[in-house]
Chains A and B, each alone.
Chain A
Amino acid sequence: MHELSVTESILEIACRHAEQAQAARVTDVHLVIGRLSSIIDDSVQFYWDLISKETLCEDARLHFKRTPAILTCQDCHQEFELTTELIPCPNCGSARIRVLSGDEFNIESIEIERKS
């Protein structure tokens, strides 16, 4: 159910910027979402189609760019990508690891058509 409020926020931000730019409509919305964010693309799309009706964003396409989860080991300074569940440092086995990226949850840009 989390995806509904996420989608509402995306819609609010996209419409606000489209209005500022005096757009006739929004054609595309580009999102950047880190692998560590627990968001399901399909359900965001599902809610988007419902709630964007009769707004500047009606029929706009959503694009999801997933950024990898990058961790670093604080003992041997090895950087590694997390693709499955949480693991200790693959180089030295240390548990003192820190997340460098993968938390992103941003709207990067929108594409609009101007009023003619």
Chain B
Amino acid sequence: MSDKRIKIVEKIFDANDRLAQQNRQRFDDSNTFAINLMASPGAGKTTFILATINAMLDSNVRIGVIEGDTAPVTIDSDKIAAAGMPAIQVNTGGQCHMDALMVESALEQLSLEELDLVIVENVGNLICPASFDLGTHSKIVIASVPEGDDKPYKYPNIYRGLDVLIINKIDLLPYLDFDMDYFRQGVEMLNPGLETFALSSKTGEGLESWLTWLKNKLPQ
């Protein structure tokens, strides 16, 4: 019945990608470095952000945090606010990921000009956030060792297109059968030469090299 076929060839995520590009421009204009932090639930995203904030308190770096959650809870953003940094809570309304539009509306509530660094804590999920560019400069994944060493093989997409990998909770290594070589080989297949920091957000072990990397990215 149809009498015409129209060729389109348009990326399904085009609208999001264009908005992400605008967000990136806003970050650039205010000289703010932006990070999209992704991980499964409980990998330690909030603890890692708090450890980073606390370690940088003396350096006058001003950090804003955008907290994405699937429900209207403020547990994570309250912790950030208690650490003395502006935190914006974004409720994704049940969605499994954040998108560029949510970040754009969060930016309305942040004084970007006054910030050197913005960290977006994405929804705890290893699959969906990988598909949505938010307009940040760096995409970072936290893998925590209790999750197991086979995650790169099971969730390959999240490890591709990444800029930094954090291996968190290394203080727990003695209690787990986590084969670091097997884990790293999987990551290497997906993202050769990926910048990786193994650390504990709890004890602070290994945090120093991560902070050095971060400070080099911040406006001088």
Enumerate chain A interface residues (CB-CB to B < 8 A): 1-2, 4-6, 9-10, 12-14, 17-18, 21, 23, 27-28, 31, 36-38, 74, 85-86, 88, 95-99, 105-114
Contacts and interface: CB of A to CB of B under 8 A. Distances in A.
A114 B3 contact: yes
Given A2-B131, A97-B189, A86 B156 contact: yes
Nearest to A38: B127
24 contacts: A1-B95, A2-B128, A2-B131, A5-B99, A9-B15, A9-B16, A17-B6, A18-B6, A31-B12, A38-B127, A38-B128, A85-B153, A86-B152, A95-B188, A98-B192, A105-B12, A107-B12, A108-B9, A109-B7, A111-B5, A112-B2, A112-B3, A112-B5, A113-B2
Contacts of B15: 9, 12
A114 B152 CA distance: 48
B141 to A, nearest CB: 15
B19 to A, nearest CB: 12
Interface in B1-33: 1-16
Report the contact-size class of chain B (Cβ under 8 Å from the partner): 35 or more
B11 A106 contact: yes
A27 B190 contact: no
Nearest to B152: A86
Given A14-B8, A21-B4, A85-B156, 5 more contacts: A2-B96, A2-B97, A9-B16, A111-B4, A112-B6
Nearest to B158: A38
Contacts of A10: 12
B185 interface: yes
Contacts of A14: 8
A88 B1 CA distance: 48
